Amino acid sequence: MSGGAIRSDVLDPGAGDSGAISIGAGSLALSSGALIDTGVHQDNATANGGLLSISAGDVTLASGSRLVTSSDGDGSSGNSGGLAVTAGDFVMTGGSLIDGTTVGNGTGGKFVFNVGNLSLSEGARIEVSTLFDTGGIPGTGRGGDLVVNASGTVDISGPGSGLFSIATGYGDGGTVRVAARDILLSSGAQINASALDQFFLGNDLGQTGSVELRALSSIRLDGASISTVRTLNVTTPSASAGGGDIDIRAGDLFSLRGSRISASVTDNLGGGGDITIDPTFVILQNSQILAQAFGGVGGDISITAQYFITDQASVIDASSQFNRSGSVQITTPNADAAKDLGVLPAAYVDLSALIRESCASRVARGTGNSFVGVGRGALPEAPRALAYSDYGYAKAPAGALAVRLPGCAL
């Protein structure tokens, strides 16, 4: 569908709940700002958003297309609708958006994706956050939950692309859960369940959400981030809510390259969140794993792996500026696996010594090759004559027509 809309939303404060939309197709493609909407978009509405269900072989959202189940009217108390997707490949590009946010006092939608592969790029977002209304008044609604189950790969890339359940009002953030064979985040991609104080709410800011990642094979971050950070614009002595927890488990590899995982807290008495990492291999390159706190206790960081490799530019920190630091526990039988890595020689191999000199260069130096036919001595033979043997002669037995001598061509 290019442009256009399929809607079962609420625009009238006196209307009932939004209707449900169910789509079944071999392939579903939305582009050029196309919209499917089961949300509530009326101020002071009490209606709830409807359920949007999609079952298709493949789903593509491109060039600003949207799936919307949000409850975004000022002062509304209805809940956002849910989203259930079953598909092979689910692809989002070009700033496309799946929106289950809540602005008022209702709860954000629950989104569940059961797919083969999930790909987000070029600023594509899936969001179930809590937001403030147009007058800057925050709501009390809790953020929604976002669940992705992929039999293949979850690949999120590019600035602005990601999965979000951020709390910016009085309500708590939700949970982001991702399970796949491989999880890849790169080039500015995010998974974010933070609590961000944008209106000086202090202690009234909602609690941070949590992030859980499960991969049968690998989880790799390259220039990306996972956050359950709690950030306040004011220092409130009574503020005690902490950062959210991050739980990461992979069958083989967990790799960070120029990336950050943070469950930290700033400017209050809350403690840092806990970070748990449990793969076979851990590789850190110029990256950070943080569970820091300001006035509260630092969080706990637990890493369990068979092999743990890190460089000097990487940081693992659970400290607190004005309170007790948290713990950093790394459990591995190969605590310094880097010592087993060989150092490559600094000098390059001189390939010129391994390359045969060309004929032209040898001729120029007067050392070119030559081929001279010198014959076998004596008089030359006729072109069609038999070659003579170097082994003398032999007498043919009686009745023989010919005798074959060694070295003689017949």
Task: Read off the pLDDT of residues 131-147 as tens digits, 9 standing for 90 and up.
Answer: 777 677 777 778 889 99
Local confidence band at 62 (pLDDT 50, 70, 90 cut-offs): very high
Asked if residues 142 and 172 have their Cβ atoms less than 8 Å apart, the reply is: yes
In the chain, % helix, strand, coil (3-state, to 5) comes to: 5, 40, 55
Measured CA distances, 201 to 67, 168, 171 (Å): 31, 9, 11
Least confident range of 30-39, 237-246, 268-277: 237-246
Higher pLDDT, 102 or 179: 179
Q: Please report the DSSP string for 37-102 in residue order.
A: E--B-STT--PPPPPEEEEEEEEEE-TT-EEE--B-STT--PPPPPEEEEEEEEEE-TT-EEE--B
Q: What is the mean pLDDT of residues 144-161?
A: 97
Local confidence band at 105 (pLDDT 50, 70, 90 cut-offs): confident
Task: Read off the pLDDT of residues 32-55 as tens digits, 9 standing for 90 and up.
Answer: 999 999 998 888 888 889 999 999
3-state secondary structure of 363: helix
Q: What is the mean pLDDT of residues 117-136?
A: 88
Cβ-in-10-Å burial (0-12, 13-18, 19+) of 336 comes to exposed
Residue 157 pLDDT more than 70? yes
Residue 120 pLDDT more than 70? yes
Residue 354 DSSP one-character state: G
Instruction: Count CA atoms closer than 13 A to 395's CA, side-chain side.
Output: 2
Domains of the chain: which residue ranges?
5-351
Higher pLDDT, 135 or 80: 80
* CA–CA separation, 91 and 123 (whole Å): 12
Q: What is the mean pLDDT of residues 120-125?
A: 98
Residue 377 pLDDT more than 70? no
In this prediction, residue 237 carries a pLDDT of: 40
Local confidence band at 337 (pLDDT 50, 70, 90 cut-offs): low
Q: Where is mean pLDDT largest: 351-355, 376-380, 402-406?
A: 351-355
3-state secondary structure of 219: strand
What mean pLDDT value characterizes the chain? 84
In this prediction, residue 368 carries a pLDDT of: 59
